[in-house]
Every structure is written in C-alpha cells, then in structure tokens.
A and B are shown apart, each in its own frame.
Chain A
Amino acid sequence: MTRVLVPLAILEGESVSPGLTTLLEPVDVTVLGYHVVPEQTPPDQARLQYEDRATAALEDLAATFRTAGTSADHRLVFTHDREQTIDRTAAETGTDATAVTGASGRIDRILVALTGDVAVDRIVRFVAALIDDREIGVTLLLATDDAGRDAGGELLETAAGGLSSRGIDVETELVVDAPTVESLLEAAADHDAIVVGERTPSLRSLVLGEEADRIAVESVAPVLVIRDVDGPPAADDA
C-alpha cells in the first residue's frame, strides 16, 4: 500500500487544504503533528503542557482525511529538530512520499517532475497509485542539458507509456538547458499539485532551502516529495 506522510506544525494551527485531502483519497495517510521547542526547553516539558491540545487538533485532522475515504492515522512528536523528526517518522512508517501542504481546491491536473535521485519507475508507480482510477491528468516534466536530450526524451516516453497504459491522461514536457526549479515553477502555474523526487542535499539546497520547500513556497500548490529509499542514509554523528 502507498503511504503519504503529512507533517503539520500542529500547535501553530497549520492545516490541510481541501485539495490535498482530495488528492490523497486513494492512499494511506499518516498525519504527523509536530511541535518544535527551542533548545532551552526539554521536549517533555512542552508535552506535559500541550499534549491534550495537540492530540485534539490531530484527531480532527485525521478525521477530515477519513471522511474523504482515506485510511489515516496520526502521530504527535515534540522535537528540537523538524527535519530529523520528519525523516525518522517517514522511515518508521514506511512512507513513500512526504507532503508539503499548499493551497489548492479542485485537482484536475498534476505536474510530475522526473528530477531528483528517485528512480523513474518508482515515481511512475507512486503516481499511478495516487491517481488510481480518477479523472486526473498528469504532465511529466524532465529537465536536461543538451547532451542528455535524446536519453531524456526516451525516459519521458517510457514513463508516459507506463502511465497511459493504466488509462491516465499523460502529457510530456522536455526542458532543455534551462534551470530545473525555474522551469518547474513556470509549468506549475497551470497545475493543481506537484510531485517531485527527493534530492540528496546539495550546497544549493543548503543556501536556498530544500528544493521541495522552495517549490512549495513559490507555487503555493501542495507538493508531494517521493522519498529516496535507496539513497545514502543521512549523516549522523550519533
């Protein structure tokens, strides 16, 4: 079964848009309510004071997903480090993708970027499970340099074939020699949600923030980031 993790800053009133709830209908959802406390506060001290409030809010959110027909559970974490909490929970729940909530109403067409370090067949499988048998169109986007033009085109065709054989309406877009994120954002304007593959952190992502977060902030749409399960494990000084 396909599982999507939806992390929310629960005590800051972060919530899910109706569009995202609809989009995630066919898959399993884990709502991760987290609360980041500053270093001078033990997480347990925050738990004692806010656990009830946070649990109530989380149960409401999970119920919203269930009315839409989704199988949803929830977890509550008090932490000093948001990224670490999301990574750990994703690994423990066997999540396929993590959602960055955005604003969205009706979902008609989603943009799927074949970027990042996630294998294309994994992206295709996820998108197929996400769309299920609904009337949602897919635009596949691949950005490459001039040398990769032919290989990129082939990859796009294979991926598109995989999706259309399941009865999904697919369009493809090959972007050559243009900045990836910028072309993605340009294409995103006509779409209601975005699916991207996770990237191993680069210098660029350290400076500009996670690529997915940047896309989410600038496109305002919900973004699903497919986890790179085969990638190198995160650096750990434990």
Chain B
Amino acid sequence: MDGASPSTEGTNIEGESPETEPTTETDEATITDDAELERTLGLTGGLAIGIGTMIGAGIFVFPGLAAGRAGPAAAGSFAIGAAVALLVALPASELATAMPKSGGGYYFISRALGALAGAVVGLSLWFGLVFATAFYLVGFGYYAVDTLAELGIAVGEGLVIPVALLFGAGFTVLNVTGTENAAKLQNGIVALLLSILVTFLAYGSLDAVGLVGEPAAPERFAPFGAMPVLTTAALVFTSYLGFAQVATVAGEMRNPGRNLPLAMVGSVLVVGVLYVVTIFVATSAFGSEALAGFGETAMVEVGRHYLGAAGAFAIVFGGLLATMSSANASILSTSRAIYAVSRDALLPKRASRINLRYGTPHVALGLAGGPILVLTATGQVELLAEVASFLHLIMYGLICVALIALRRNEPAWYDPDFRVPGYPFVPILGAITSFAMLGFMQPASQLVGVGIMIATAGWYAYYARDVSLRGEL
C-alpha cells in the first residue's frame, strides 16, 4: 500500500503551506524520506479507544433523559444510532485503510472533497469534540456528586459544575505534563467497565423478562409515538462518537489494513448492543416516567433496584470511570484534530508545537481545554450533546460522500485493504441517514451547529483561501 499521497499546494495568509511528503506505509511503520514513524497500537488498543470514548456518555448519562422523551422505545433510539454509526463506520474503515494517517475523517474529506470541505469539517470537528468533552465532563460532575451522596455526604447538585470544571482543568494539565501509560490505564478501565456492565445487564435482563424477581408492570413501548424516538436518536447519537476517534490514530496502528476496520466496526457493535440492552433493562426496572425523574444519574437507581446498595455503588463507580475515560480520550482527540488542520496550514503552524520538556502538544491541548471549560460552565447537557452530534454527523455524512467521490474515479494512490460491502448502497444510506438525523434535533442545537460551520467557512475564506488539498482525482 505504498505510493504517492494526494498532492497539496498553496499557502495561507501567513505564507505557510501544507506539510506533506511522500510516504510509504508498511504494517509496522510509516516511512518518510529521512525518518520512520513506528506503529505501536494493536487491535486491543484500537478497540479500547473506540469503546472507551463511546461507553461513558450514552450508557451512564442518557437513560433517564431518553426514557423521558421516548418511553421504552428509547431502546429503539439507541438502535437507530447504532445503525447509523455502523453505516458510517464501514465507509470510514475503507478510507482509513486507504489513507492510514493521523487526522481521520478530516483527512479523508479534505483529500477527496477539497480544502473548503476539509476546513469546515476539520475546524468543526475541533468544536464538535470540545462540545462532546464538555458534555462528558458535566456527566462526570453528576456522577461525582452522586458518589459523595452514596458515601453519605450530600452536597446537592450545586456542585456538579464546579466539580466538572475542576476535573476538566485537571485532565488538561495532566495531558500537558504527560500521562505515561494512559493507554494501558484506559485498557484496564474499559475491561473493568465492560465486566461491571455485562454482569449487571445479565442479571437485569433475566429480571426484565420475568425469569427472576417480580414481573414489572407492562408499559406501552412507544407511548409518545414515532417522532420522539427519532429526536431521541438524534440526541443520544453523541454516544456513538467514539468510533471515528479510532481513525484519528490510524497512523499509529499496526497492521492497519486489518486492525482499523475491526476496531471501528467492532467497537460500534459492542457498544450498540450494550446500549440497547441497558435501556431495555432500565425501562423494565422502573418504567420510563420514574426513570426520567432520576435525571442524569438514573442508572444508579437502576443498579440499586436490582442489586441493592452494592449495585448502586458499582454503577456510580462505573459512571465515574466511564465519563472520565470519555472526557480524557476526547481531549486527546481534540489536540489531534488541531494538529491535523494546522499541518495542512488551515491553522497557524504554532498550534501544533510540541514542548521539549514533556513532548506534548501544549498549544493544541490549551486550545482544547480552554473552550471545554467555558462550555462545561454552561451545564446544558442536552444542548452540548446535540451540538457535538450535529458537528460529527456532518463529518460522517461527508465521509460517505468522500468515499463515493473517490470510488467513482479512483486515483492511482487509492488502494484500500478493506472495501465496503454493498457499495454503493451502504455509503449512500450512510450519508442520507447521517444528514437526516440533523433534522430531528432541537432548533437551538441546529442553530449553534450551523453557526459554527459558517464561522469555519469564513475562517477558511479569510485565512487559507489559497490552500488546496484535493487529491489527484
């Protein structure tokens, strides 16, 4: 899978041009003219990134909110989200094996559809991740306060935002000064989380179908009709943002032709199944109305219902770990997104400087951490989640379009190891469903999302109009 990369040219307003060099990709390393870049992530590492980013938000923060909006059919909303994610994960896998480089979705779109689309997606992805991280941090705040409550220290919800801010600042500083072995820790957290959830869900499912415990009161599956199921799907789609993060480390993954598709599709499948079962169990335990009343930490009450204080504690603990791992993984992805656009001269090169003392991209991490704290302070769970989804869905839809564009007129360098089954239906369906979900969001989220996209397009027109990134199509 060697060969020339897509060509780039032009300079931005400061006279910087995109940094690209012909590279040769092997299973073990990326080889440039004078240097080699070691591929150090295995399949387990890739799955941990995907699952670790996704598992936090949806499963621990959304059940109460989603059940309040869609009733037991919230499980259907999560299933719709999983289906859309899968339809995008397949084309993204093909593109990632053809271009196994840092940058992920941004890279594919800028090379297939040109610099304007690339700039909008790349800069929007930065903000999308910022919104997502703020959402995870607020979720973390709720769980932190609940942990204190379980320990007998009732502090009230007034402390949710301060705690979230404190930890957001903490993660940023931690990432600047270096988190050695964070990936190994992340693997451990994901394994622990999965075992907590599977145990809990196995017991809960048996109970929910009436095999153990007392049967729950039957409830209408979709008490509010089909529309809320779709709008809820749009809301909870934030739960599925993690799989694309796997593509952002494509340049560091060993044997990318095999591991990238497995990690992306695998993490969507694992997380999708867990989500659907969780919502089913949660709504069976309480009925959607009661569940909605518990708010962001409804899962704790579900845990208490099935397994008593131990269950509540396990869920509180799991929720803390999960929201923490999502937030941390997203801060890292944000700095990688900034690196990818600054490398292509769409942002000043300064933004991706590394400091020699810690070896970390301190400017990019600051550009992630600052806005995250501002957004966390708003505490708007649903708005943060929807804007994050909105900006990601734009990218997902365009990934599908990029695949179709490349396949219609395959350039010589395009040689993916993995090809989408069911082409062209899968990418076409992926694009349509991604864009369609935008329509089911709250107007406020749509407005913020569109506003950010217009702002990024404006930035491109002002700063990097002459930069061209399109591949030789």
Contact = CB atoms under 8 A, between A and B. Distances in A.
A48 B343 contact: yes
Interface string A147-166: 00000000000000000000
A46 interface: yes
B418 to A, nearest CB: 15
Interface string B245-260: 0000101101100110
Interface residues of A, number: 32
Contacts of B249: 42
Given A42-B336, A47-B32, A238 B254 contact: yes
Interface string B101-118: 110000000000000000
Contact of A47 (B35, B335, B353, B358): B35
Contacts of B361: 40-41, 45
Interface string A60-84: 0000000000000001111111001
A115 B304 CA distance: 59
A44 interface: yes
Given A37-B359, A238-B254, A45 B38 contact: no
A85 B352 CA distance: 24
A210 to B, nearest CB: 18
Q: What class of interface size applies to chain B in its complex with A?
A: 35 or more
B38 A44 contact: no
Contacts of B339: 42, 45
Contact of A46 (B29, B44, B251, B359): B359
B252 A42 contact: yes
Contact of B360 (A40, A77, A84): A40
B42 A40 contact: no
B28 interface: yes
Interface in A1-44: 11, 36-44
Nearest to A42: B102
26 contacts: A37-B354, A38-B360, A39-B179, A39-B181, A39-B332, A40-B179, A40-B182, A40-B332, A40-B365, A41-B361, A44-B37, A44-B343, A45-B339, A45-B352, A45-B354, A46-B359, A47-B35, A51-B35, A76-B34, A77-B36, A79-B40, A80-B38, A81-B40, A236-B254, A237-B43, A238-B43
Interface of B: 19, 27-30, 32, 34-38, 40, 42-44, 101-102, 175, 178-183, 249, 251-252, 254-255, 258-259, 332, 335-336, 339, 343, 352-354, 356, 358-361, 365
6 shortest interchain CB distances as A-B pairs? A79-B38, A237-B42, A43-B37, A80-B40, A76-B35, A238-B254
